[in-house]
Amino acid sequence: MSEATAEPRYAARASRMRASEIREYLKLIDQPGLISFAGGIPDPALFPAAAFAETYARVLADPARSRSALQYSVSEGYLPLRQWIAARMLSDRTIACTADNVVITSGSQQALDFIGKLLISTGDTALVTAPTYLGALMAFNAYEPRYDTLPLDATNRTPAAYADAADRAGGTVKLAYAVPDFANPTGATMSAAARVKLLELADALDCAVVEDTAYTELRFSGEAVPSLASLEIARKGSIEASRVIHCGTFSKVMAPALRIGWIVAAKPIVRRFVLVKQAADLHSGTLDQMVMHEVADATFDTQIAKVRASYGARRDAMLAALARHMPKGVRWSQPDGGMFVWASLPEGQDAAALVQRAVSEARVAYVPGRAFFTDGTGANTFRLSFTLPTPPEIEDGIARLARVFATV
């Protein structure tokens, strides 16, 4: 018997794949008596559960459909679903496209992995906001990029400054990643002017723009801002001349468990993603795609209204409770939608150290903000999700959290 270790020699990229510390906070969600603002997951009470149950039953009750639903299918995704998405992209987001511009992914997380796989060589630069969505960093990290910071509004850095820094790191700027509506973790929305500036920067750098619209439907107040894809199509004349890779998901409005998201882009780019999809997992679940198509077609608008009303009331409850209870020096954002309020303690305080006290003394959880930064800053920041607790729980939890912060 050998005592040799069983572990193979991993590729260099394996050292970039680390467990998200957020996972530890998410585990707190199910602790009895604990009020968790740590999640970032939808309220399951809002899922159209009856429609899903009825549709799975109906598709599987038809022998011909059942056979297709349980069989292998094409890598680009179920055609009626891609057609439905193309129509909604036009009606909801002014993105003129056809089913040939759409590829189905297993949630938008898979879209981010595929984007890294297709675009990033070791040492290439990815522009991301600070803070940014941790799942994007996890996906891109496997392809060993260098990160540089994308400002959300005016920038005093020229395109040449970005390009030079990328060149010195041994690569080029390959993509700029943004969550323009109600970003995770900040809840911030980019202005139309900032979006156009981002597209101009991408033109100057000849890089792709990755638009992650995970929260776009969750607007509770304010006016919708045109998508980066629609602005780019207006500038270039057609989606076929667009450099935007637009990613969407059913996870927040419908349900996440079916793992259905999509990429909308110019056809040659979509054809590349179809090859990536085929190599990665052949295709997304056939039955799940068929069911999601029918349930979305029947309930998508109702679902949007339902999640907006529910999450909007909880955002209001959270903003009111923060204003009522938080001690001086704690600051927070005023999101127009999404799932998160972004907050900060006075400079010098450590949100990661305090979360331990918050959990043990106040039985309240949140996510410390540092994990969302690529540069090690953000120690005093934290993220509060308002989508799972009820308004009375939010009021109670924020009051309890404020008492911890008041005694630092």
Q: Which residues inside 60-79 make contact with its own copies, applying CB under 8 A? A: 60-61, 63, 66-73
Amino acid (one-letter) located at 227: S
Q: Minimal CA–CA distance to 245: which of 271, 221, 264? A: 264
- Taking CB under 8 A as the criterion, the residue among 82, 146, 195, 243 binding its own copies is 243
Applying CB under 8 A, the site for its own copies has a residue count of 97
Pick the stretch among 4-12, 301-309, 334-342, 396-404 that binds its own copies (CB under 8 A): 4-12
Within residues 332-391, the interface with its own copies by CB under 8 A covers none
- Taking CB under 8 A as the criterion, the residue among 41, 169, 298, 304 binding its own copies is 41
Measured in whole angstroms, the distance separating CA 45 from the mean position of its chain's CA atoms is: 21
Within residues 112-131, the interface with its own copies by CB under 8 A covers 113, 117-121, 124
Pick the stretch among 51-59, 82-90, 149-157, 217-225 that binds its own copies (CB under 8 A): 51-59
Smallest distance from the beta carbon of 79 to its own copies, in angstroms? 14
CB closer to its own copies, 195 vs 259: 259
- Taking CB under 8 A as the criterion, the residue among 103, 104, 139, 198 binding its own copies is 139
Q: What are the residues facing 281 on neighbouring strands?
A: none
Q: What are the residues facing 209 on neighbouring strands?
A: 176, 244
Interaction of residue 265 with its own copies, rule CB under 8 A: yes
- Taking CB under 8 A as the criterion, the residue among 36, 129, 141, 380 binding its own copies is 141
CB atoms within 10 A of CB 41: 16
Interaction of residue 286 with its own copies, rule CB under 8 A: yes
Smallest distance from the beta carbon of 2 to its own copies, in angstroms? 5
Cα Rg, the chain, nearest whole Å:
22
Q: What are the residues facing 368 on neighbouring strands?
A: 382
CB closer to its own copies, 7 vs 347: 7
Within residues 310-329, the interface with its own copies by CB under 8 A covers none
- Taking CB under 8 A as the criterion, the residue among 125, 284, 385, 387 binding its own copies is 284
CB closer to its own copies, 236 vs 357: 236
| Sign of the CA dihedral running 383, 388, 391, 393 | negative
Interaction of residue 30 with its own copies, rule CB under 8 A: no
CB closer to its own copies, 8 vs 348: 8
Within residues 145-184, the interface with its own copies by CB under 8 A covers 172, 174-175
Q: Which tokens in the block code for residue 144?
A: 């060993």
- Taking CB under 8 A as the criterion, the residue among 36, 242, 303, 387 binding its own copies is 242
49 neighbors 56 (Cβ within 8 angstroms) = no
- Taking CB under 8 A as the criterion, the residue among 82, 219, 283, 314 binding its own copies is 283
Smallest distance from the beta carbon of 303 to its own copies, in angstroms? 12
Measured in whole angstroms, the distance separating CA 123 from the mean position of its chain's CA atoms is: 24
Pick the stretch among 79-87, 158-166, 276-284, 360-368 that binds its own copies (CB under 8 A): 276-284
Question: CA 130, CA 343: separation in Å to the nearest integer?
Answer: 14
Q: What are the residues facing 332 on neighbouring strands?
A: 343
Pick the stretch among 11-19, 299-307, 313-321, 333-341 that binds its own copies (CB under 8 A): 11-19
Question: CA 262, CA 253: separation in Å to the nearest integer?
Answer: 14
Question: CA 402, CA 320: separation in Å to the nearest integer?
Answer: 13
CB closer to its own copies, 115 vs 352: 115
Pick the stretch among 206-214, 311-319, 336-344, 359-367 that binds its own copies (CB under 8 A): 206-214
Alpha-carbon distances of 208 from 188, 201, 245, 262, rounded to whole Å: 22, 10, 7, 17
**295, containing H or E segment:** helix 286-325
CB closer to its own copies, 285 vs 379: 285
Give the number of C-alpha atoms closer than 13 A to the C-alpha of residue 405, restricted to the C-beta side. 28
Measured in whole angstroms, the distance separating CA 316 from the mean position of its chain's CA atoms is: 22
Report, in this order, helix, strand and coil percent for the chain, each rounded to 5: 50, 15, 40
Residue by residue, what is the 3-state secondary structure of 220-247? CCCCCCCCHHHHHHHHHCCHHHCCEEEE
Within residues 91-110, the interface with its own copies by CB under 8 A covers 105-107, 109-110
Q: What DSSP state is assigned to residue 271?
A: H
